[in-house]
Structure 1
């Protein structure tokens, strides 16, 4: 992949999209951010498009060597079920129409409950509604590759956090609360090890997958620091914090949709959640940012974003 290649980031205004755009620009590549709102990263080309509109996505991908699907949706199994298959089908159709390499950013929900570390060889066995949606998307990609010649690469991360990651559970319940002078929180069980991926590392890794021919056609786990316990993450963020147990979250679910949606994913917090990224780190020589440094940068960004008093 040469410096003259063209890259489009579908969902370029989300945290993962922004980090991917920055990483591509840092490499001197021609990058475009695709979304319904104007791009928020300086120096990137802006393409306004609704990813639910097949024609708009096809036009946005025209001329691109690589397209990165990094879009996010509101945390709702219903919305995911209705909209995610449409978005994935539109991205596949656009990539096929223009002979574009599609890099698909994914989470680990499709794995379901896993006993031991998650690797690229972990089978797809979803145990949640959102996991089944994600598994369905992987099936669409695999069938398009096998039957229509789609060139696709799947990139997975663990739960993510990072500067400005407003959709991150850790940012919301720990970083933002601590910066606001409140106690940070961890969900369900603070004594289980839990992997977290740093969003700037995600962007850097996606840029590698889009520019290294050897990466194509495979599934990769993106660089992720060794798992710590929830209590340790809270300590690194500046305090002991508190653990929101199942009972508290069930009560919250009576009035809060986010809490309701979180309950089906409780298994990710009540047992070890271990994400192995050895293959990527070894192949591409990109080490993950240590958690202590990533949390410090996230806290600094949250402080900088607070309105002056």
Structure 2
């Protein structure tokens, strides 16, 4: 049994597909309202904020993937993430299940220094502090031999379906509809972006590789990094729309944040958009040389072919 906690998001959905394709048909999908992915998955309702629910969700599992997400709400992160991580660690330890944690980079310094698995945590803001704390909790539990686990870390997403990211909501979705994209702060800085199917496929591979445990892994990205200016040009080419965009300045984002909580709660991430973002995934690529990373061109073409974008003839201006 391989169990996905937080299976309703894009990463959990794709992970279920790749686990079935490459590794096992014995898959349990866990969320407050789980939905079938492969037609044969076991569906289990649970609230990860409840310790007994979490224990029941993990029961009988060999491998557990924590892919849950929370809304971009700082208060919820501070209140709920430590509880979720504690419940999941306790449940996996009690059941003898291996844990694969899908993590982000909010705890890293928001500078242009290359980010590797050994980068020291220097969070900028409360969400980054919480992510550093829960990753630290899991690393401590691993060091104390409470459970066998690994951490998969990914930079900002772009991808198909219901992918939730600033790049999708501010750039891909507007361009797909023939509207102007919105870029935070700078359009001339290199971005590290991960294609969500690559993240899910790589996580399935790591979870089913025995010697990957006890470590942190950066999930694989296209190293031909683009600026948002170049990314927008490529996306518009693939979608058959115009590469129109505007760069939002800090004062504009601060003003928008007065009326939009999501923008306000994303403010601590802004420094990363003022500098190159160099997320290094060489460790994974060396260990798994046959893993083919999706290029930006192919990823955007796949989004186009997945019908996120309108037909060229109906694209507005």
Asked if these proteins are the same fold (TM beyond 0.5), I'd say yes
CA distance in 2, matches of 1:75, 1:16: 17
- Distance in 1 of aligned mates of 2:206 and 2:163: 25
Question: Do the aligned partners of residues 184 and 138 (structure 1) sit closer, same or farther apart at CA in structure 2, a change above 3 Å counting?
Answer: same
Q: Specify the alignment match of 1:3 in structure 2.
A: none
Aligned equivalent of 1:129, options 126, 131, 143: 126
Matching of residue 299 in structure 1 with residue 295 in structure 2:
no
Which shows bigger deviation, 288-297 or 129-138? Answer: 288-297
| Greater Cα offset, 191-200 or 40-49 | 40-49
1:31 corresponding residue in structure 2: 27
- Cα RMSD after superposing both structures: 1.7
Q: Measure how far apart 1:265 and its partner are.
A: 0.8
Residues 251-287 of structure 1, C-alpha deviations (whole Å, 9 max, x = no match): 1111011111122111110011111101101101223
Are 1:274 and 2:278 matched, yes or no?
yes
- For 2:131 and 2:308, locate their aligned partners in 1 and report how far apart those are by CA, in whole Å: 34
Compared with structure 1, are the counterparts of its residues 284 and 181 closer, same or farther at alpha carbon in structure 2 (3 Å cutoff)? Answer: same
5+ unaligned residues in a row in structure 1: which ranges?
1-5
**Structure 1 stretch displaced more, 103-112 or 291-300:** 291-300
What residue is the counterpart of 1:232 in the other structure?
230
1:17 matched to 2:12? The reply is: yes
Q: Is the 8 A contact 1:186 1:234 kept in 2?
A: no
Q: Is the 8 A contact 2:176 2:310 kept in 1?
A: no
Q: Show structure 2 runs of 5+ residues with no match.
A: 237-242
Which residue is equivalent to 1:252?
256
Q: Using the alignment, how far apart are the partners of 2:182 and 2:91 within structure 1? A: 42
1:246 Cα deviation after fit? 1.5
- Equivalent residues of 1:36, 1:48 under 8 A apart: yes
d(CA) in 2 for partners of 1:230 and 1:305? 22
Provide the C-alpha distance between the structure 1 equivalents of 2:310 and 2:112, rounded to a whole number of angstroms.
Answer: 39
Deviations 1:198-243 (A, max 9, x none): 0000111110111001101100000111221011111111014222
Say whether the 8 Å CA contact 1:16–1:202 is kept in structure 2.
Answer: yes
Aligned pairs for 1:20-169 (under 5 A) are 20-29=15-24, 30-43=26-39, 44-169=41-166
After superposition, give the CA deviation of every residue in 1:83-114 in whole Å (9 maximum; x if it has no partner). Answer: 11111111101100111110001001111334
Distance 2:228 2:284 in 1: 25
Alpha-carbon deviation of 1:293?
1.1
Task: Decide which moves more: 291-300 or 226-235.
Answer: 291-300
Deviation (angstroms), 1:301? 2.8
Q: TM-score, normalised by structure 1?
A: 0.93
Task: Give distance in 2, aligned partners of 1:135 and 1:73.
Answer: 16
User: How far did 1:161 drift?
Assistant: 1.1
Q: 2:167 aligns with which of 138, 145, 170?
A: 170
Match for residue 261 of structure 1 among 261, 265, 269:
265
- Aligned residue-pair number: 302
* Contact 1:223-1:280 at 8 Å conserved across structures: yes
- The answer as to 2:245 corresponding to 1:241 is yes
Q: What secondary structure does 1:243 align onto?
A: strand
